[in-house]
Amino acid sequence: MTDDTTTPVATPTPATDGAKPGIGRRKFLAGAAVAGAGAVAMPAIARAQTTTWRFQSTWPARDIFHEFAADYVKMVNEMSGGRLKLELLPAGAVVGALQMQDAVLAGALDGGHGVTAYWYGKHKAYSLFGTPPAFGWDANQFLSWFYHGGGEALYNELVNDILNLPLTGFLTGPMPTQPLGWFKDEITSAEQLQNLKYRTVGLSADLFNDMGAAVTIVGGPDIVPSMDRGLLDAAEFNNPSSDRILGFADVSKNYMLQSYHQDSECFEVIFNKQKYEALDPDLRAILRYGAYAASSDMYWKAMARYPQDLAALKEAGVKVTRTPESVLEAQLASWDRVIANASGNEQTGQFFTKVIDSQKAFVKSMGSYFFDANAPKEPAYQHFFGQG
C-alpha cells in the first residue's frame, strides 16, 4: 500500500510568442532570456514518496516480543528517512498469530514478525530455521550458521523453490534457552510428561509427542486462557518477561527453567516478495540490515529485562526450579528419534536431512573452537556471587 505525497512546485508560465506594443524586439528578447534563466535556476522540487506497509506481529500488544517487533519497525522507519513506513499491528489486528504468513501471501498484510516454527505444518524443515535441534549451540551461533554457514541459501531454497512461496525473509533476534515451562506440579522425571496436555510449537511438538505428552499448538495470546479453562495442563512460551506479562503466574506456580526442546531460537521477519523487490535497493538494504541491528539490540534488552522479571515472579510466589538432568537426557534421546523420523519422510525427508547435515557440520566445527576457547561461566559467577 503506497501513499504518494509527490507535489511538484509550479513552474513559471512560458513567455508568449510576441512582444507587447511599444516594446522593441531587442528589449523583448532580453527579457525573455532573463525569464528563461530564472526557470533554469528554479527547477520543480518534489518531496520523496512515502511507501506505507502494514506489518503485523504474531504477538499480543502487551508482550515484550511485540516490543521487539516495534524496535525493528522503529529502526527501519528512521533509517528510511520517511520513504518507507512500516505500520506495526499486534496479533489479531488483521489475522490471528498462526495465519500471519498466509495474510502476507494473500496481500492482506505486507509483512510480519514471527517465528518459523509457526509454519512447520507446511514443511517440517521450516522449524529448523527457528527451533533447530539441541546440537550444543546457542541462538547467536545458530544465526552465525544462517548468515555465514550456508543456512540462508537453504532457507531460500525451502521458501521460494520447494514451497514456491513469494516471500522474502530474514532471521533476527537470538533467544536464550527457553524454560521447560509452567506446570501444576514440579516435573522430577520424564514419566510425568505422559499424557500431559502440553502446549508448544514446531519440531518441539514432535519431541514432546515422542515423550508421551498430548501436545496442543496454540498461539501466544491463547495459552493462559487455555490453561485457565483446563484445556492445557502445562505450557511453555519463551521467557520470564513474556510469561509474566501474559499472566502465567495466575494459572500456575511451578516454573521450570532449562530445556532442550528449544535450546536456541530466533525470530523471522517476512515480506511479500513482489513488493519487497519493487523497492529501491537502499530500502531493501535497510530492511535487511535493520534485522541485523534489531538482532543485537533485542539480545541486549533481553539480558537486562529477563532477570528482573524472573525476580518479580519469585517475589509473587512462583516456585522456580531447574529441569532435572534425567529429563534433559530424555529430551536428547527424543531428538534422535524426531530427526530420524523427519529424515525418513518420503516427501520432505531429503531436504530435511540436507539442512540437518549442514547444521551438524557447522556446530561440529564451531564447537571444536567454542568449548576449548571459552572458560565456563558458572564457576566464575558462583565465585563472586554465590549460587544465584
Give all domains of the chain, ordered by start, each with its CATH number.
50-174+264-304 (3.40.190.170), 181-263+317-369 (3.40.190.10)
Whole-Å CA distances, 207 to 120, 132, 255, 338? 14, 12, 20, 6
What value does the mean pLDDT take over residues 247-274?
Answer: 96
The per-residue pLDDT for range 184-226, each reduced to its tens digit, is 999 999 999 999 999 998 899 999 999 999 999 888 888 999 9
What value does the mean pLDDT take over residues 270-289?
Answer: 98
The answer to whether residue 18 scores a pLDDT higher than 90 is: no
Mean per-residue pLDDT of the chain: 89
The answer to whether residue 72 scores a pLDDT higher than 80 is: yes
350 burial type by CB count under 10 A (0-12 exposed, 13-18 middle, 19+ buried)? exposed
What value does the mean pLDDT take over residues 161-178?
Answer: 97
Q: What was the pLDDT predicted at 47?
A: 56
The answer to whether residue 25 scores a pLDDT higher than 70 is: no
Q: Give the H or E element holding residue 140.
A: helix 139-148
The answer to whether residue 42 scores a pLDDT higher than 60 is: no
The per-residue pLDDT for range 80-126, each reduced to its tens digit, is 999 999 999 999 999 999 999 999 999 999 999 999 999 999 999 99
Q: What was the pLDDT predicted at 106?
A: 96
What value does the mean pLDDT take over residues 262-273?
Answer: 96
The answer to whether residue 24 scores a pLDDT higher than 70 is: no
Length, in residues, of the chain? 388
**Residue 101's closest CA among 155, 167, 53?**
167
Alpha-carbon distance of 255 to 240, in angstroms, equals: 9
Alpha-carbon distance of 84 to 358, in angstroms, equals: 36
pLDDT confidence bin for 354, thresholds 50/70/90: very high
Q: For Cα atoms 210, 180, 126, give the angle at the middle one, nearest 5 degrees.
A: 60
Q: How many percent of the chain have pLDDT more than 70? A: 87
The answer to whether residue 43 scores a pLDDT higher than 80 is: no
Q: What was the pLDDT predicted at 218?
A: 86
User: Residue 2, SS3?
Assistant: strand
Q: What was the pLDDT predicted at 219?
A: 80
C-beta separation of 355 from 131 below 8 A: no
The answer to whether residue 318 scores a pLDDT higher than 80 is: yes
Alpha-carbon distance of 174 to 177, in angstroms, equals: 10
pLDDT confidence bin for 48, thresholds 50/70/90: low
The answer to whether residue 4 scores a pLDDT higher than 90 is: no
What value does the mean pLDDT take over residues 255-269?
Answer: 97
Q: What was the pLDDT predicted at 220?
A: 81
Q: What was the pLDDT predicted at 388?
A: 58
Q: For Cα atoms 291, 293, 170, give the angle at the middle one, nearest 5 degrees.
A: 15
Q: What was the pLDDT predicted at 15?
A: 39
What value does the mean pLDDT take over residues 219-237?
Answer: 92
What value does the mean pLDDT take over residues 13-22?
Answer: 40
Residues forming beta bridges with residue 89, ordered by sequence position: 56
C-alpha cell at 344: 525418513
